[in-house]
Amino acid sequence: MNFVQETVKQILDGVEREGVAKILSYTRQFDGVELDPGQILVSVDSLPVPAVPPAAKEAVDFACEQIRMFHQATKPETVISVDPVPGLHLEERLIPLQRVGLYVPNGQYPLISSLLMTAIPATVAGVENLSVAIAPKMPLDLDPLWIYALKATNVKTVLRVGGAQGVAAMAYGFEGFDPVELIAGPGNQFVAEAKNELFRRGIVGIDVIAGPSEVLVIAGDLTSPEIETAALDLLAQAEHAADTHAYFVSWSQKSVSMVQNRVQQWVKDYDGILGQIDWIFVSGPEEALKVAHRIAPEHLSLTGPEAEELAPRIKSAGALFVGRLAGQALGDYAAGPSHVLPTGGTGRFSGGLATRTFMRRMSVIAADDRLPDEYLNAGKVLASLEGLKFHEQSLKTRLQQKSSPRYQP
């Protein structure tokens, strides 16, 4: 068990055992904020409508509209029914979760997009009770942009608790707050480990296994505008954190050199933290596709003349961006699909956050006396082959009841 895992385990166990007392203690220890018990929960309805700059309001409203539109369009049917024969009715139902907790980082700037990209899909899915954990700052008043976005996304409650303790508070609940059924949203390594550990314990569902952010750009011969946007796509991903990873994969040595030069020019006067950028030269598009499948990045960008031709062949990525104008920053904010995506190669077997994330499947099997005997007979034989006596007998009894309504055991 490494340092992060050990620390998170202690936090989760502490919140589970001691509730509010530990929540307040960890908030004091990790965030340097002293809270009273009554300051943990904030009802969004009780917050005054904030004054927000018109440009910010317009941008939030536009993003909300696009995200809502996409998720309404892609929401799956909630009931799919099949009647294979008279007497047998089958259904698959998608049922919205009732209580969902969202984690939204609260760093130097309010990450409004992370709230929109989780809360709106949950609301479209039919979740009625949405709560958000946000690390507290002094003064305790929420940024007006936070309040505006919270009201725009149907969030009911804010927890002034961040980090692993915020995740634990939502999962285990405490006085005045019932546990949630699923936790979604990005966070640092402690937040990610808390979500994973709570899922392993069977306490709560989670959206995706989140790790350091990634982008992989595939390109052949590029024009000057494409060189510029490719360089900025790499840097836009690298600026997330020191552990982010960007890859430029190309069969054009000229494109590699020119994008490298443009990146160097952009960062010359940049004093922030940047993640790693790897430059991968390949023999052609086929090898580029193999590299992409092996890495299965969070974001995969296709640019250059081959972009549309290669797009249908991409099978392993959290999200695919096709064409010069489709940078991942567009997907991060205003295109519509959620930017909460699988990382660390998990795009090979999982997808990003969507309405389905906030719904659970339930099968329904209904049968009456018209049910053909073949169904019961087949089950009876299979139960016998598996040595399950009472499975076999339960089906045998139903066959007898069907043939003789007055059957008595």
Beta-strand ranges (E) seen in 58-211 are 79-85, 88-96, 99-103, 129-133, 157-159, 182-184, 205-206
With a cut of 90, say whether residue 138 has pLDDT above it: no
Look at residue 141 in the predicted model and tell me its pLDDT.
Answer: 82
Candidates 71, 299, 339, 392; catalytic one: 299
Contacts 24+ apart (CB under 8 A), 24-32: 26/163, 26/164, 26/165, 27/136, 27/160, 27/161, 27/162, 27/165, 30/162, 30/163, 30/165, 31/135, 31/136, 31/137, 31/162, 31/163, 32/138
Q: Is 255 annotated as a binding residue?
A: no
How much is the pLDDT for 93?
98
Phi and psi for 42 in degrees, rounded to 5? Answer: -130, 125
Q: Would you say 350 is a known binding-site residue?
A: no
**Residue 103 marked in a binding site:** yes
pLDDT at 262 over 70: yes
pLDDT band at 1 (very low <50, low <70, confident <90, very high): confident
Query: Is 401 marked as binding a ligand?
Result: no
Residue 12 C-alpha from the chain's centroid: 21
Q: Residue 404: what pLDDT? A: 80
The pTM for the full model equals 0.93
Reported as a pLDDT band with limits 50, 70 and 90, residue 52 is very high
Residue 142's pLDDT band (cuts 50, 70, 90): confident
Over 80: is that where the pLDDT of 75 sits? yes
In this structure, what token pair is assigned to residue 349?
Answer: 């077997």
Confidence tier at 376 by pLDDT (50, 70, 90): very high
User: Once rounded to an integer, what is the mean pLDDT over residues 110-117?
Assistant: 93
Going along the chain from its start, the domains and CATH numbers come out as 3-207+356-360 (3.40.50.1980), 214-348 (3.40.50.1980), 372-409 (no CATH)
What pLDDT score does 17 carry?
96
- What percent of the chain clears pLDDT 70, i.e. is strictly above it? 99
pLDDT of residue 409: 58
Digit-coded pLDDT (tens) for 160-217? 999 999 999 999 999 999 999 999 999 889 999 999 999 999 999 999 877 889 999 9
386 appears as a binding residue in the annotation:
yes
| Local structure of 100: helix, strand or coil | strand
The answer to which of 66-75, 135-144, 275-284, 350-359 has the lowest mean pLDDT is: 135-144
Residue at token pair 């941008």: 59
Which of 226, 298, 339, 392 does the annotation list as catalytic?
298
Residue 245 annotated among the catalytic residues of the structure:
no
Q: Residue 140 — very low, low, confident or very high, per pLDDT cuts 50/70/90?
A: confident
Would you call 239 helix, strand, or coil by DSSP?
Answer: coil
Q: What is the mean pLDDT of the chain?
A: 95
Report the pLDDT value the prediction gives residue 190, as an integer from 0 to 100.
Answer: 95
| Burial degree of 195 (CB within 10 A; 0-12, 13-18, 19+) | buried
Structure tokens that stand for 79 in this block: 């009931």
What would the mean pLDDT of 140-169 be, rounded to a whole number?
94
Nearest CA-CA partner of 335 in 120, 119, 54, 65: 65
Read off the pLDDT of each residue in 6-28 and give the average, rounded to a whole number.
97
The per-residue pLDDT for 127 is 98
Relative to beta strand 88-96, strand 359-367 is antiparallel
Length of the chain: 409
Q: b/e for 129-143, b at 16 or more Cβ within 10 A?
A: bbbbbbbbbeeeebb
Please determine, for residue 81, whether its predicted confidence score (pLDDT) is greater than 70.
yes
* Of residues 208, 233, 227, 252, the one with CA closest to residue 300: 233
Q: Which of 354, 348, 325, 341 is nearest to 214 (CA)?
A: 341
Q: Are the CB atoms for 195 and 4 separated by under 8 Å?
A: no
Q: Mean pLDDT, to the nearest integer, of 43-66?
A: 95
> DSSP 3-state assignment of 159?
strand
pLDDT digits (tens, 9 = 90+) for 340-369: 999 999 999 999 999 999 999 999 999 999
Q: Is residue 339 annotated as a catalytic residue, yes or no?
A: no
Q: What is the pLDDT of residue 405?
A: 63
Residue type, 214: E
- Checking if the pLDDT of 407 tops 70, the result is no
Q: Is the dihedral of CA 337, 343, 347, 351 positive or negative?
A: negative
188 annotated as belonging to a binding site for a ligand: yes
* Cβ(101)–Cβ(180) below 8 Å: yes
Dihedral sign (CA 132, 135, 141, 142) = negative
Q: Which two tokens stand for residue 142?
A: 């929420």
